[in-house]
Amino acid sequence: MRSPRPARLAAVALLLAALAAAAAAPAAAASRDGYGRARRLRMRGKVVEMFYHAYDNYMAYAFPHDELKPLTKGFTDSLSELGNLNLEHLPQDYNGSALTLVESLSSLVVLGNLTEFDRGVSWLSENLTFDVDARVNLFECNIRLLGGLISAHILAKDYSSQNKDGVYQNQLLHLAENLGSRFLPAFETPTGLPYAWINLKYGVMENETTETSTSGCGSLILEMGALSRLTGDPRYEAAALRALRKLWSMRSSLNLVGSTLDVLSGNWIEYSSGIGAGVDSFYEYLIKAYILFGSDEYWDMFHSAYLAVQKYFRHGPWYHEADIRTGEATHWQLTSLQAFWPGVQTLLGDVAAANLSHREFYNVWQRFGVLPERYLLDYGILHPTEKYYPLRPEFAESTFYLYQATKGVIMNNRQIILLGFFFLKILIKQIKII
């Protein structure tokens, strides 16, 4: 998707996991690669410090709004603003949905701060409501809010079964179910493909746009499938699966999918497509759905789609965009969002391909100090306006998977520590606001 993702906390959590794993490595390995345990623990401490820097300042200055604006100590209600350029249909006294708190719950559990986790859960149970006249983007609301609530619910269940305190009584799951039920009207189209936008209180609005993206229709199955499995209500998974099947039925004879489409007619609008913005998470969700639910249907779709991408979009280690009808190249550009691909290749087990594509993103990262939003492959230069790095977590996630899968083969401990240190240094030196 084109809109910015909640990158900082997610990337920090991944780094933390990678560093913690490395810190736990045996002392012999540590001395062999020259990165001692003490240094790793220091870096781990830095990651924890950064998490609290972000979290505490959000709670102090922006909560219960969605996100902190660090330069002004103001806030933004990003859930209803993402992709909503004209800020249409926002109620006057709207206070957001505590989005950063929801997204931080899982990090609090990873850091072992159950007191703060419980405090967050109590606040959300008592004060969060979705009965608001706000038009939100279905995709963003699904991956961030529904996904955040469901993963925190699963973690809360895990630890309350160990602690037997009885404070946790499925409050997050009830919130998730309430939210999920507000998604369902978006799927009431002749094709089953959902509208991109939904009003949380009133459903699909009059004159709503019928244009959406492939990721908008194809990145719902993990959260909505999990919601059905957890509640026993099959409607969420059924709606998301119907949309995914319809999307896949629209593929070209080359097994490629376009990037934008019309939800009423089920026709493609944009035939030029790649693995970046507008399509990326369609591929990611297919393989992750196969891993999560184990159904061969997801594997069959993923496998055909993956082979087509490797055949028509790949040029050496790079991925360009192409017309899905002819396979002819349309745009030659590397985008920051594409950096999820080596992670997908690792999950699939195509480690040799992951090695190659990861290396190219790594080289571009090294050349510019961060991954630029858009880099023009045919000219070998940055895109004139899209030079920024909006803290996207894709490259960190791919690095983490590749390291976990191939320890010592493609990336040894020393390389992962260096890369982790590299991410951390950039986040602290260039991005952190004091």
296 lies in the binding site for ligand NAG (CB under 6 A): no
Q: Can residue 131 be called a binding residue for ligand NAG (CB under 6 A)?
A: no
The 3-state secondary structure of the chain reads CCCCCCHHHHHHHHHHHHHHHHHCCCHHHHHHHCCCHHHHHHHHHHHHHHHHHHHHHHHHHCCCCCEEECCCCEEECHHHHCCCCCCCCCCCCCCCCCHHHHHHHHHHHHCCCHHHHHHHHHHHHHHCCCCCCCEEEHHHHHHHHHHHHHHHHHHHHHHHHHHCCCCCCCHHHHHHHHHHHHHHHHHCCCCCCCCCEEECCCECCCCCCCEEEHHHHHCCHHHHHHHHHHHCCCHHHHHHHHHHHHHHHCCCCCCCCCCEEECCCCCEEECEECCCCCCHHHHHHHHHHHHHHCCHHHHHHHHHHHHHHHHHCEECCEECCEECCCCCECCCEEEHHHHHHHHHHHHHCCHHHHHHHHHHHHHHHHHHCCCCCEEECCCCEECCCCCCCCCCCHHHHHHHHHHHHHCCCCCCHHHHHHHHHHHHHHHHHHHCCC
Near ligand NAG in 337-356, by CB under 6 A: 352, 355
| Residue with Cβ nearer ligand NAG (115 or 385) | 115
Which listed residue (81, 116, 140, 177) binds ligand NAG by CB under 6 A? 116
Q: How far is the CB of 48 from ligand NAG (least distance, A)?
A: 8
Residue window 2-41: x/- pattern of binding to ligand NAG, with contact defined by CB under 6 A: ----------------------------------------
Contact 259, 278 (CB under 8 A): yes
Question: Is 127 among the residues that bind ligand NAG (CB under 6 A)?
Answer: yes
CB closer to ligand NAG out of 316 and 384: 316
410 belongs to the binding site for ligand NAG (CB under 6 A): yes
By CB under 6 A, tell whether 123 contacts ligand NAG: yes
399 is an interface residue for ligand NAG by CB under 6 A: no
Piece in contact with ligand NAG (CB under 6 A), picked from 4-12, 51-59, 342-350, 366-374: 51-59
- Residue 57's contacts (CB-CB under 8 Å, 6 or more residues apart) are 68, 70, 73
92 scored as a contact of ligand NAG (CB under 6 A): no
- The residue (of 52 and 379) whose beta carbon lies closer to ligand NAG is 52
Note the Cα 428 to chain centre separation in Å: 22
- Which amino acid belongs to residue 335? T
106 interacts with ligand NAG by CB under 6 A? no
Determine the angle formed by the axes of helices 171-183 and 114-127, rounding to 10 degrees.
50
Q: Per CB under 6 A, does 126 bind ligand NAG?
A: yes
Say how many residues touch ligand NAG, by CB under 6 A: 18
Q: Could you say which of 32, 52, 295, 328 contacts ligand NAG (CB under 6 A)?
A: 52
Q: If binding is defined by CB under 6 A, does position 267 make contact with ligand NAG?
A: no
Enzyme catalytic residues = 140, 280, 373, 394
User: Is position 93 an interface residue for ligand NAG (rule: CB under 6 A)?
Assistant: yes
User: Least distance from C-beta 119 to ligand NAG, angstroms?
Assistant: 7
Q: Which is nearer to ligand NAG, 212 or 355 (CB)?
A: 355
Q: Which is nearer to ligand NAG, 12 or 226 (CB)?
A: 12
Among 409, 425, 432, 433, binds ligand NAG (CB under 6 A): 409
Distance of closest approach, residue 47 Cβ to ligand NAG, in angstroms: 13
In angstroms, give the least distance from the CB of 296 to ligand NAG.
28
- Residue 357 found at the interface with ligand NAG (CB under 6 A): no
Does residue 60 belong to the site contacting ligand NAG (CB under 6 A)?
no
Taking the complex as a whole, the smallest distance from the CB of residue 320 to ligand NAG amounts, in Å, to 20
Beta carbons of 240 and 221 less than 8 angstroms apart: yes
Which parts of this chain interact with ligand NAG (CB under 6 A)? 52, 55-56, 93, 95, 113, 115-116, 122-123, 126-127, 206-207, 352, 355, 409-410
